[in-house]
Amino acid sequence: MAITSKRTYTSPEAKDILKHNAQQSHRLTENSSDIMLLLDANGMMTYISPSIIPLLGYIPEEIVGNHARVLVHPDDLATLQRMLAAIGEIPGRSLSAEYRLCCKDGSWRWFEGSATNLLQVPEMGAIIGYFRDITKQKLAPRLQWSEMHVSDHFVQFYETDDFLLDSLSEFIATGLETGDACIIIATSAHRQGLEERLQAEGLDLTQIHGQYIPLDAGETLAQFMVDGEGPDPDRFTQVIGNLIMQASKGQRRVRAFGEMVALLWAEGNRLAAICLEELWNELQNKIAPFSLFCAYSMHNFAGEVYGDQFSEICLRHSHVIPDESYIALASPDERLLAISLLQQKANSLQAEVAQRKRLEAKFQYLFDSNLIGVFISDFAGTFLEANDAFLDLLGYTREELLAGTIKRDNITPPEFLYLSQNALKSLQESGSSGTYEKEYLHKSGKLIPVLIAVTRIEQTETCIGFVLDISERKELDKRKDEFISMASHELKTPVTSLKGFLGLLQRLLATRGEEKALHYLARMDTQINKLTKLINDLLDLSKIQTGKLAYREERFDIDALVQEIMENVQETTQTHHLHLEGQTRAEVFGDRDRIGQVLINLLNNAIKYSPRADTVLVRLAKDQNNIIVSVQDFGIGIAEEHQHKIFERFYQVTDPEEKTYPGLGIGLNISCEIVKRHGGWMWVESQKGKGATFHFTLPLVRQDMRQAPCTSEQG
Amino acid sequence: MQSKQKKILVVDDEPDILEFLQELLKLEGYDVATTDKAEYVEKLHNDNLPDLILLDVLLSGKDGREIVKHLKSQEETRSIPMIMFSAHPSAEVTVLAAGADDFVAKPFEIAEILEKIAEHIK
C-alpha cells in the first residue's frame, strides 16, 4: 500500500469547515468529484457529503450509520483496515491510498482516499475522510505519455471514438504542456473532439500557435497518393518531412498523430496502409526523431481474414496499445485472466474457423467437381453463381455470369416458362422445387433437355439448383421409341400375311365343310388378334411417350359406346356376364375409338383378374361436369401398396403366392394416359381378395364446345 | 361372276401380301394385277386403267401417299377409287389428307377389306 501525503488536510482547515457547516456542505457540492465522510473511532459513518449521489448513486441517509466497509471493494478491505488502524494510533495522522468504492448499481469506481484522525479535536471528534474520483485516470492508457521516447511509433486500437479521444487528448496535452510541437493529421470529427477536450482541460489553443498544428487526414493524404497505386515515397517525404522539420524548429520535440493509414485501411486499401506505415518508420530514421501515434478502429479487423494483416500492422510499431476492453482492466490479475480468456477464445475460434473452412472446402469441392451443373440464383431469376459445368451447358462465360447477363427468362424457351414459374412457386411454399424436366436455351440457340432440382437457401430470396444434361438420355429414348415403332411395324407385316392366308384357308375349307379344321383356324385367328393387340399396345405406348398418339375429336354418345363395347366383349367370354347399370344420356368430346379401347381394356382386365367370379358390373353416372364410368369385378383385388403403381408402365402385380397373369403391364398405363388426354381421371378402389372397381371420368360436352368433328395430332 | 370383271391394282412391297390379296380378290371375281414397283403405278396408261387401287403407305423407297397425291392430281386417274393400308393405324389421317378414298389398318380382316372394296368400286 502506497501511503502518500499528496494532499493533506490540516486540522485548522478542517476546523474551519466544521465551524461553518452551511459553508462546508456548499463547498463540497461544488466539487463533486470529492466525497467527504466522517467516521467515529470504530469506523462507523456519521456523515456523508451529498456529492456521493452523482458519484455512487447512494443518498447519504441510506447508508449513514453503517461501517465504512460497506462502500469498499472486498479486495480493498484489508487496505482500509490497515489505514484505519494506523491513523487510529496517532491523533492528527493523515494517510492516503487508492480504493474501489461500490456504486449502488453494483459497478465500481476508483477513488484516492485520504483519512485524518481528528478524534481528539474538540467540536470534531471524528476521522475525516476525503475520496477523490480517479476512475478516468486509472482506466486511461497505461503508457505514461510524458515518458514516451521521442522515436517511438506506437499504435492504439480502439472501439469507441470517446476512448481514442481520451487517449489522444492526454498524449497531446502532455506534449503541449512540456513544450512539444504537436501535429494532428486527423478527420475533422476527431480534430473537433480533440480540441473540445483540450479546451476542457484549460488549454487555450489560440495562444500556442505554431505548437499545435492540425491538418485534415484526407487532404494531406491526397498530396502524396498516386491514383490506383500507393503512396509516393518521395512526395511523402517531401510533404510530411517538411512538416516535421518545420515543427521541430527551435529544438522542439515533435509529437504526431496520424490517421491517414487508418483511412486507407477503412477504404480497403490495405497494402497502401501498410506501405504508408513503412514510410513513417523510414521518415523517423531519416530526419529529426519524433513520436508518432497511430490509431485503428478495431471494427476494421472484424474477420478471421485480417489475422495476418493485423499482426503486420502491430509489427510496424514499437508499441501496441490494446483497445479499451483490455485497458479498462486495472489489476494485473484481471489482465492475466482476460488474456487467458482471450487465448481460449482465440484457440476455439481458430478451431471453429478451421472446421468451417473444411466444410466450405467440401462444398466448394462439390461445386467445382463439375459432375453436374450447380448454380445459385435469386428469385427474380438472375444467376449469381455457377460452376463451369453449368456455364458450359449453356455456352456462357464466367464474365457474362458475373456481369449478371444470365437470366432465367433468357435461357428458358417460352414454352417452358410456366414450368419455371411453378418451380418458383413451390420453392417459396415448400422450400424445394422437386425434380422436373425442362429445356434450356443454349447461347447458340440450341435446346438442351435437362433434369433440374432447386432448393431454397434458408432465409434468403436465393436458391441453389442442380442441373443434369439429359440430352443423351433423351436421344436414347427417341431411338428406343423409333425402334419400338419400327419393330411393331415389322411385326405386323408377317401377321398381316398370316391373317390373310388364314382367311383364304377358312374360305377354302368352308366350301368343303371341314368343321374341325375351321374350328382350329378360328382359334388361330383369335391368337393372331391377341398378337395384333399386343403389337398395337406397344406402338401406342411408344407414341404416348413421345406425345405422338393421335386423337380424333368428335362428339359421341357415351351410353351407346359403352353398350356397343360391352356387347363386343361379351361375345369373347363364356365365363362372365357383363351387367350395365345406369345411363348418362350425355355426349362427350374426344376419340370414340380410344375411349372404346379404354373400356375394352378395363373389361378384359376385370374378366382376367376374377377367374372364380361370373359377373362384371359396369356403372354409368354423371355429375355437373363429368360422366363417370365404373367397371367392377369380384376377383383377386389389389393390395393397397400396389394401387398407385398399377397405372405405371410395365407394372404388374407379382405375388409369389398368386399365379401370374399374362400381359405386358402396359394396358392400364395406356388407358390412364388416354383418359388424362381427354381431360379426365382414372383411379381404382380395391382391397386384396375383394375385387376391384376402376373408375374414369370424362368431361361433358359444354354448349360452347366446337360442333364440327375434326382431328388433331398431339406434339 | 360379273360380265365385265372389275380390275383391281394391288401395290405392296411384301410378296406374301400381294399373293394372298391376289388369291382372295380372284376368288371374289375381280381381275387382279399386283406390283411392288411404285414407278409402275405412276405410269398408268389411259388404255389400261384399273377400277380401283389398293396401295400400301410404305413402299420400298417411296411414300404411297405421294403416289396417291400424284394420281389424284391427274385428270385421267383422278376418279379411280384408292384404298390405302398401313401397319400404323394413325396413318389414317394423313392418308385421307393425301386424297385416298379410304383406309384399312394392317393386319386387316378379310371381310373388312372386301366390304370397303365393294363400297368404292363402280
The three-state secondary structure class of B29 is coil
- Which chain B residues are closer than 8 Å to A539 by Cβ? 88-89
Which of A482, A489, A492, A496 is the best substitution to test chain B (most B C-beta atoms within 10 A)?
Answer: A496
What mean pLDDT comes out for the span A11-25? 46
Q: 0.80 cut: is pTM over it?
A: no
Band (pLDDT 50/70/90 cuts) for residue A7 is very low
Question: Which residue segments constitute the domains of chain A, with CATH numbers given?
Answer: 11-139 (3.30.450.20), 145-328 (3.40.50.300), 369-469 (3.30.450.20), 474-545 (1.10.287), 550-713 (3.30.565.10)
What mean pLDDT comes out for the span A502-513? 89
Closest in B14, B24, B89 to A493, CB measured? B14
Report the run of H or E that residue A422 belongs to, with start and end.
helix A417-430
**d(CA A528, nearest CA chain B) in Å:** 9
The percent of residues above 90 in pLDDT, for chain A, comes to: 22
- Which chain A residues are closer than 8 Å to B28 by Cβ? none
Question: Which residue segments constitute the domains of chain B, with CATH numbers given?
Answer: 7-120 (3.40.50.2300)
- Which chain B residues are closer than 8 Å to A536 by Cβ? 89
pLDDT score, position A268: 82
- Which chain A residues are closer than 8 Å to B20 by Cβ? 497, 500-501, 503-504
pLDDT score, position A267: 85
Output the average pLDDT for chain A.
Answer: 83
pLDDT score, position A83: 86
- Spell out the SS3 assignment of A372-402: CEEEEEECCCEEEEECHHHHHHHCCCHHHHH
pLDDT score, position A330: 66
Residue B22 has pLDDT above 90, yes or no: yes
Least confident of A7-11, A95-99, A479-483: A7-11
Q: What are the distances in angstroms from CA B80 to CA A246, A647, B68, B75, B99?
A: 119, 47, 10, 10, 11
Contact check, Cβ <8 Å, A497/B27: no
pLDDT score, position A145: 57
HSE-up (13 A, CA, CB side) for residue A59: 2
Is-cis flag, bond preceding B107, omega within 30?
yes
Axis crossing angle, helix A188-200 with helix A161-177, rounded to the nearest 10: 60
The percent of residues above 70 in pLDDT, for chain A, comes to: 89
- pLDDT top residue among A446 and A342: A446
Nearest to A683 by CA among A701, A691, A671: A671
Report the run of H or E that residue B38 belongs to, with start and end.
helix B38-42
Sheet with strand A319-321: strands edge to edge: A212-216, A181-186, A254-258, A290-297, A153-158, A319-321
pLDDT score, position A174: 83
pLDDT score, position A202: 82
Contact check, Cβ <8 Å, B110/A496: no
Q: Would you state the cell numbers that stand for residue A286, as one nine-digit string?
A: 531519416
Contact check, Cβ <8 Å, B87/A488: yes
Q: What are the distances in angstroms from CA A349 to CA A216, A307, A352, A357?
A: 38, 12, 5, 12
- Which chain B residues are closer than 8 Å to A493 by Cβ? 14, 17, 87, 106
pLDDT in tens, A135-191: 766 655 445 555 555 668 888 888 888 888 888 888 888 888 888 889 999 999 999
pLDDT in tens, A697-709: 999 876 555 444 3
Query: What's the CA angle centered on A234, arms A230 and A237, to 5 degrees?
Result: 100
pLDDT score, position A26: 43
